[in-house]
Amino acid sequence: MQTDTVFVNDWPSTEKWMDRTIHGSRPQLRKSVCMVVFASLFTTAALGNTALRYAYVTDPVGGGGQILAYSITPANGKLLPLVGACAVTPAPNNPPIAAVVDFTGEYLYTVSNVASTVSFYQINLLTGCLVLKNVYPLAPGGLGPVAVGVTPHNGCLFVSDNISGTVDAFTINGNGTLVGVPGSPFPVGPAPQGLAVDEAGGHYLYVANDVAAGTVTPMFWNPPSCQPKPILPVPTLGGFPVGVAIDPAGQFLLVTNSGTNTLVTFPIIPGGGGALGPANPLAGTGASPAGVATTPFGDMAWVADNAGNTVHTYLLNAASGAPAINGLVQPTGVKPLGVTVDWTGTYFYVVDSGAGTIHGYKPNVTTGKTPVAIGVFGAGVAPTAMAIQP
């Protein structure tokens, strides 16, 4: 990713905007997951592995801001645009940059970097159509959200605010509505980008702060409160960390560093309340890595190389989480941002922000080597993130 100043009030040029936004990446759930970017998580719950699922892609440029909707073909992973009015949901007043589906599969939340808002949509479980239910402004002082994540059991929603260097927190009610947490927004560090929420019950989250002295801010909360508090020490990586993901078991944190072209993993100290151990040896990536995601089983990870137009495959050491490049590098479209894994781990998708496309792949689950391409799908003008229904 590039290091130019993030936009605030004026909508940037498409290229500059794409260079600064990488989310949609999200953490995943064992046996059922879909990533991280910019991130978030969910569960596959009552839907079987062969059930039809819907996917939603944010495009803040096309139509002045829109959400594109698809069904995922279970047999081959191909994306089919929904028909009629369900295919595109206009959002010109709150152009979406990142999205997450809640764990029930009933609600979609998007964030708008320009409007500094969270939009709440109800998903029609039969058709996949979206209905806008409400738009929530961030708390005073929260500006420029770029990533969003929800906790298991839908208790909390967190947003990283790139411009204000903060995290906004909301409580999720049983009907999907949001209530701002007192004290929001909470300071984390300059230029936060990727956000990953623990899904293994540890009640912690991590935010990558995309500046030259780059840090990763660990935070925890005590249910039923959704008020995040910092965990010390704060690791310093340098070199502009961007994307973050947590393996489904909550054992390791993965961070992409666009300044050093590396992937770094940290062990999450057992019983340490989310504190991180010393970093594992670095693994190389392509140019300017952005989104990162793991399988539902935590054995493999993929990184989208934003300036390299490629995706790398890694095997993760089961004991340490240390990454090792495996297989051949796969080409993507122009300026790939987020990586999203479907809840079964059968397919993963890379959002190509500079090409208006999504590349789909089938992982090689036997050897972890080169994934098989399953297709290239149209995705508006400048897609930034993808969220898959559990």
- Go through the domains of the chain in sequence order and give each one's CATH number: 14-388 (2.130.10.10)
Task: Return the higher-pLDDT residue of 154 and 356.
Answer: 356
Structural contact between residues 235 and 213, judged by C-beta atoms closer than 8 angstroms:
no
Structural contact between residues 191 and 22, judged by C-beta atoms closer than 8 angstroms:
no
- Mean per-residue pLDDT, 54-70: 97
Q: How many CB atoms lie within 10 A of CB 3?
A: 16
Task: Return the higher-pLDDT residue of 171 and 44.
Answer: 171
- Mean per-residue pLDDT, 145-163: 93
Give the pLDDT confidence of 312-343 residue by residue, as tens digits: 999 999 988 999 998 889 999 999 999 999 98
Give the pLDDT confidence of 100-112 residue by residue, as tens digits: 999 899 999 999 9
pLDDT at 21 over 80: no
Which segment of 66-70, 203-207, 216-220, 327-331 scores lowest on mean pLDDT? 327-331
146, two tokens: 């770029």
Quote the pLDDT of residue 52. 83
> Quick one: what percent of the chain has pLDDT higher than 70?
87
Closest CA relative to residue 1, chosen from 241, 313, 273, 311: 241
* Residue 210 buriedness (CB in 10 A; 0-12 / 13-18 / 19+): buried
Structural contact between residues 359 and 80, judged by C-beta atoms closer than 8 angstroms:
no
Structural contact between residues 254 and 263, judged by C-beta atoms closer than 8 angstroms:
yes
Position 50 confidence tier, pLDDT thresholds 50, 70, 90:
low
pLDDT at 250 over 60: yes
Position 366 confidence tier, pLDDT thresholds 50, 70, 90:
confident
Query: Mean pLDDT over all residues of the chain?
Result: 86
Task: Return the higher-pLDDT residue of 31 and 163.
Answer: 163
Task: Return the higher-pLDDT residue of 286 and 202.
Answer: 286
Instruction: Give me the sign of the Cα torsion angle 244, 249, 250, 253.
Output: negative
Which segment of 19-33, 236-250, 301-315, 347-361 scores lowest on mean pLDDT? 19-33
Quote the pLDDT of residue 154. 67
Q: How many CB atoms lie within 10 A of CB 62?
A: 20
Which segment of 160-164, 269-273, 287-291 scores lowest on mean pLDDT? 269-273
Give the pLDDT confidence of 292-309 residue by residue, as tens digits: 999 988 899 999 999 999
| Chain position carrying tokens 């993507």 | 332
Which segment of 23-32, 242-251, 269-278, 377-386 scores lowest on mean pLDDT? 23-32
Task: Return the higher-pLDDT residue of 153 and 16.
Answer: 153
Quote the pLDDT of residue 271. 87
- Beta-sheet pairing, 330-331 with 336-341: unpaired
Query: Side-chain half-sphere of 139: how many Cα atoms within 13 Å?
Result: 19
Letter for the amino acid at 259? Answer: G
Quote the pLDDT of residue 161. 97
- Mean per-residue pLDDT, 148-152: 93
Instruction: Give the integer Cα–Cα distance in Å for 228 and 348.
Output: 30
pTM of the model: 0.88
